[in-house]
Amino acid sequence: MEKEAQLIQAGKMTTLGVMAAGMAHEINQPLNVIQVSADYIVEMLGRGQAPEAEELKGMAGDIIASVERASSVITHVRDFSRQAEFARSRVNLNNPIRDVFKILGHQLKVHQIEVELDLAPDLPPILADHNRLEQVFVNLVSNAIDAIDEKREHPEIADRTRRLRIRSYGSGGRVVAEVADTGMGMPEDVKSKLFEPFFTTKKVGKGTGLGTSISYGIVRGYEGTIEIESQPGQGATFRLAFPQAR
């Protein structure tokens, strides 16, 4: 169990390293707002003038909102990076799914990938750990980005759609999440090996081959299952199902 926890933690650190530029962007934007507001106030005071009270109030509001935004990003990264115990508590599966976009939101925009979220509002809870489930979805979404980008290298494929769709719903006493992309897809021989440690179809330097096997271990640890539907050139759908908490 200790070695498994160390492996999961190493996977999270790799993810954060890859996504560092996106998170820096998320922090830089509110810092720019604060800088512009501060520069304006200093310039006005340098002219011997004071901003109008209403204008000053508006800038103060922008500064407060920007500080809160930057603080939220930092707090989330800190929480995600902590070593989570193999704990079980009642978790709404929609919450770790939504939190993925705090880490990967900018990455998806840069890669011009359309995101569709279809999350059931009345989803029953499951017994799991929010932090570890978030890592599972971060891994799946990261792989989807790579698969969609890979399609650009194959001009013979007519469908150029760049879309990620995540859906959640309850079914027969289980809670299900589907992560579907319009990427390259995969043949049967790749699907059969996908959850093996160190197996990867990515170019050298693009991945460790541990993300999917770590995700598989986390899901199985919470008595869940992962199914894959995919055809070459037609994208892939990962379907995760967990028993509903009683």
Rounded to whole angstroms, how far apart are CA atoms 157 and 130? 38
pLDDT of residue 125: 96
**First CA to last CA across the chain, in angstroms?**
25
Residue located via tokens 């704990």: 87
Rounded to whole angstroms, how far apart are CA atoms 143 and 181? 9
pLDDT of residue 17: 61
pLDDT of residue 84: 57
Which regions of the chain are under pLDDT 50?
Answer: 204-209
Residues 6 or more apart in contact with residue 138 via CB below 8 angstroms: 15, 100, 103, 104
**Helix (H/G/I), strand (E/B), else coil: 241:** strand
Helix, strand, coil percentages, rounded to 5, for the chain: 50, 20, 30
- Residues forming CATH 1.10.287 domain(s) in the chain: 22-81
**Helix (H/G/I), strand (E/B), else coil: 75:** helix
pTM: 0.70
pLDDT of residue 3: 54
Residue located via tokens 């440690």: 197
- Residues forming CATH 3.30.565.10 domain(s) in the chain: 87-243
pLDDT of residue 119: 97
pLDDT of residue 209: 45
Residues 6 or more apart in contact with residue 118 via CB below 8 angstroms: 165, 166, 167, 168
> Does the CA dihedral 170-174-180-185 come out positive or negative?
negative
30 burial via Cβ count (<10 Å: 0-12, 13-18, 19+): buried
Q: Which has the closest alpha carbon to 163: 151, 175, 153?
A: 151
DSSP state, residue 168: E
Residue located via tokens 């996908």: 194
Rounded to whole angstroms, how far apart are CA atoms 148 and 151? 5
Give, in words, the CATH class of 22-81.
mainly alpha
Fold of 87-243: Heat Shock Protein 90 (3.30.565)
**How is residue 102 written in tokens?**
């705090």
pLDDT of residue 204: 42
pLDDT of residue 8: 58
Rounded to whole angstroms, how far apart are CA atoms 139 and 215? 7
Q: Which has the closest alpha carbon to 79: 31, 115, 119, 133?
A: 133
**How is residue 185 written in tokens?**
């897809």
Rounded to whole angstroms, how far apart are CA atoms 85 and 75? 19
